[in-house]
C-alpha cells in the first residue's frame, strides 16, 4: 500500500480540471495499456494524488478504478464529480456517499418490475474522517459562503435523469427514496473497490435538480462550480487520509497484547491480567519474515475453510478467496518489491471478498500491514 498517495478519478474533463488545479509538481504516468494518469502533490501538504479520467458510465469507471488500484495500491480511491439532486439539496452543495445503490438491478414479473439492487457502504474509517472535516467547517475557505456538505445515499445507473415525472423517476422514488443524489459512475467504482479491498469515497457536487430544469446554459454555470466544490472537499479528505495513516500509533493490533512505543519515555500498562505480552520501547517491533507470513496465510486458509463449512461463506466467494490466497502464497516465494506488491494486492482483494466476516477481514488487514516490513 502507498500510504502517501490517493487515487482520484473523474468522469469528465471539467471535474478533472477542478482537481488538477489543486495539485502542484504534476508529472505524467502512463499505464502499459494506454491509460494516462497525472501524479501531483496537494499544495502545502505531502499528500500525493494520482488523477485519472474514466469517461461516462459505470463500466468504464469500474475498469479504470480497478486499473488504478492495481497500478498504485493507494491509501484510498476517491471518485469526484457532479450529480443531480433527487430532493431539495441546494445547487453547489456537496454530497458524500454513505452508501451507493446500483439501482438498475431488477426482475420483470407479471405484476411489474421488482427491485434487486446492489448496495455498497462507504468505508467506515473514510466516512469518519469525512464527517469530521464537514463538522469542522474549514475544509475549503475558497468555496462560496453557505456551501454545505451532506451525507447520504447516492443512486447510480446508466440514465441521465432530468425529470421528476417520468416512469424512471417514479421508480427511484418508490424503491430508493433515501437517495440524495443521482449519477452514473459510483456503482462501478464501488464494486472495483470492494473486489480490490481498497477504501472508496464518492464525493459529488450538486449541479442540477434532475427535475426538468437541466439545460446546456445551466450546466455551463453550475457544473464548474459544483465540480470545484466537490474537488475542494475531496482534496481535503485525501490530505486527512494520508495524514492519519502517517500518524504513529501506541498500540498495534497486529499481535494481540503487544504495545509498541517509538518515542522515548515510559509505557504504562494498566490491566487486571497481562499474559503473553511484549513491550518494545525506543524501537520498532521485529520485521516479519516470509516464513512468518506463510504461517499466517495457512492459518487464514484454515479459518476460511471453517467459515465455508459452517455456511457463513458461500461457495463462489470461498473459491475466489482461495485463488487470492494462492496468489499471495506464490508472491511470498519472490522476495522482491514486485512480489511484495502482488502479495499486498492479493490480500486486499481477499479483504474485499470477506468484508462481511469482520474477524477474518481484520486479520487480512493486519497481514497487509505486516507486509510493509517484510524482510
Q: Phi first, then psi: give them for residue 206, nearest 5 degrees.
A: -80, 115
235 and 307 in a single domain? The answer is: no
End-to-end CA distance of the chain: 16
CA distance 299 to 328: 13
Tell me what pLDDT residue 70 has. Answer: 92
Q: Phi first, then psi: give them for residue 182, nearest 5 degrees.
A: -135, 140
What string of DSSP letters covers 66-79? HHHHHHH-EEEEEE
Residue 279 lies in a domain: no
374 has pLDDT over 60: no
Residue 263 lies in a domain: no
242 and 342 in a single domain? The answer is: no
Q: How much is the average pLDDT of 141-158?
A: 90
Unique residue bearing C-alpha cell 477542478: 18
Contacts of 27 (CB under 8 A, 6+ apart): 38, 39, 40
Question: Lowest mean pLDDT: which of 25-34, 60-69, 149-158, 350-359?
Answer: 350-359
208 and 357 in a single domain? The answer is: no
- Which CATH number do you get for residue 200? 3.40.50.1580
Unique residue bearing C-alpha cell 430544469: 213
Q: How much is the average pLDDT of 235-254?
A: 74
Half-sphere exposure of 75 (CA within 13 A, CB side): 20
Residue 39 lies in a domain: yes
Tell me what pLDDT residue 176 has. Answer: 82
Q: Phi first, then psi: give them for residue 169, nearest 5 degrees.
A: -65, -40
Across 133-231, the runs of DSSP E, i.e. the strands, are: 149-156, 179-183, 200-208
Residue 157 lies in a domain: yes
127 and 26 in a single domain? The answer is: yes
pLDDT, greater one: 288 or 15:
15
**What is the overall mean pLDDT for the chain?**
83
8 A C-beta contact, residue 34 and residue 63: no
Per-residue model confidence as pLDDT tens digits over 46-60: 999 999 999 999 999
Q: How confident is the model at residue 263 (pLDDT cuts 50, 70, 90)?
A: very low
Tell me what pLDDT residue 369 has. Answer: 79
Per-residue model confidence as pLDDT tens digits over 16-44: 999 999 999 999 999 999 999 999 999 88
Contacts of 149 (CB under 8 A, 6+ apart): 93, 94, 95, 96, 130, 133, 134, 139, 233
276 burial via Cβ count (<10 Å: 0-12, 13-18, 19+) = exposed
Domain that holds residue 298: 287-371
What is the biggest distance separating any 2 CA atoms in the chain, rounded to whole angstroms? Answer: 72
Unique residue bearing C-alpha cell 525506543: 282
Listed residues 228, 246, 264: the one ending a domain: 246
Percent of the chain residues topping a pLDDT of 90: 42
pLDDT, greater one: 367 or 16:
16
214 and 331 in a single domain? The answer is: no
Number of domains in the chain: 2
pLDDT, greater one: 345 or 249:
345
> Which contiguous run of DSSP H or E holds residue 112?
strand 112-115
Listed residues 189, 215, 246: the one ending a domain: 246
pTM given for the model: 0.68
pLDDT, greater one: 175 or 50:
50
8 A C-beta contact, residue 371 and residue 340: yes
Tell me what pLDDT residue 88 has. Answer: 84
Task: Say how many C-beta atoms besides its own lie within 10 A of residue 117's C-beta.
Answer: 15
240 and 292 in a single domain? The answer is: no
163 burial via Cβ count (<10 Å: 0-12, 13-18, 19+) = middle
Listed residues 246, 276, 299: the one ending a domain: 246
Q: Phi first, then psi: give them for residue 194, nearest 5 degrees.
A: -60, -45
Amino acid at each position: 500500500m502507498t500510504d502517501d498517495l490517493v487515487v482520484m478519478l473523474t468522469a469528465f474533463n471539467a471535474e478533472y480540471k477542478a482537481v488538477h488545479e489543486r495539485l502542484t509538481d504534476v508529472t505524467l504516468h502512463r499505464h502499459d495499456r494506454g491509460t494516462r494518469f497525472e501524479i501531483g502533490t496537494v499544495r502545502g501538504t505531502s499528500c500525493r494524488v494520482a488523477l485519472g479520467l474514466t469517461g461516462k458510465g459505470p463500466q468504464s469507471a469500474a475498469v479504470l478504478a480497478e486499473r488504478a488500484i492495481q497500478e498504485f495500491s493507494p491509501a484510498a480511491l476517491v471518485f469526484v464529480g457532479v450529480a443531480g439532486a433527487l430532493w431539495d439539496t441546494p445547487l453547489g452543495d456537496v454530497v458524500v456517499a454513505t452508501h451507493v445503490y446500483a439501482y438498475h438491478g431488477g426482475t420483470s414479473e407479471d405484476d411489474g418490475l421488482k427491485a434487486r439492487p446492489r448496495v455498497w457502504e462507504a468505508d467506515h474509517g473514510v466516512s469518519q474522517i469525512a464527517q469530521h472535516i464537514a463538522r469542522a467547517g474549514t475544509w475549503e475557505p475558497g468555496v462560496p459562503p453557505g456551501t454545505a456538505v451532506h451525507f447520504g445515499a447516492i443512486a447510480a445507473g446508466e440514465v441521465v435523469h432530468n425529470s421528476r415525472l417520468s416512469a424512471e423517476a417514479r421508480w427511484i422514488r418508490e424503491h430508493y427514496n433515501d437517495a440524495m443524489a443521482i449519477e452514473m459512475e459510483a456503482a462501478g467504482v464501488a464494486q472495483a473497490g470492494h473486489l480490490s479491498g481498497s477504501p472508496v469515497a464518492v464525493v459529488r457536487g450538486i449541479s442540477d435538480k434532475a427535475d426538468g430544469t437541466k439545460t446546456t446554459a445551466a450546466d455551463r454555470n453550475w457544473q464548474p462550480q459544483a465540480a470545484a466544490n466537490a474537488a475542494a472537499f475531496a482534496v481535503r479528505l485525501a490530505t486527512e487520509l494520508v495524514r492519519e495513516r502517517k500518524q504513529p500509533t501506541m498500540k498495534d493490533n497486529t499481535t494481540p497484547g503487544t504495545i509498541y512505543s517509538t518515542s522515548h519515555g515510559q509505557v504504562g500498562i494498566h490491566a487486571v491480567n497481562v499474559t503473553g505480552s511484549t513491550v518494545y520501547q525506543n524501537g520498532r517491533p521485529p520485521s516479519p519474515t516470509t516464513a512468518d507470513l506463510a504461517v499466517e496465510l495457512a492459518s487464514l486458509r484454515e479459518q476460511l475453510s471453517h467459515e465455508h463449512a459452517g455456511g457463513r461463506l458461500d461457495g463462489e466467494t470461498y473459491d475466489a478467496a482461495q485463488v487470492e490466497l494462492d496468489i499471495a502464497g506464490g508472491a511470498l516465494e519472490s522476495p522482491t518489491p514486485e512480489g511484495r506488491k502482488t502479495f499486498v494486492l492479493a490480500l486486499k482483494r481477499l479483504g474485499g471478498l470477506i468484508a462481511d466476516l469482520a474477524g477474518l477481514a481484520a486479520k487480512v488487514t493486519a497481514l497487509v500491514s505486516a507486509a510493509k516490513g517484510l524482510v
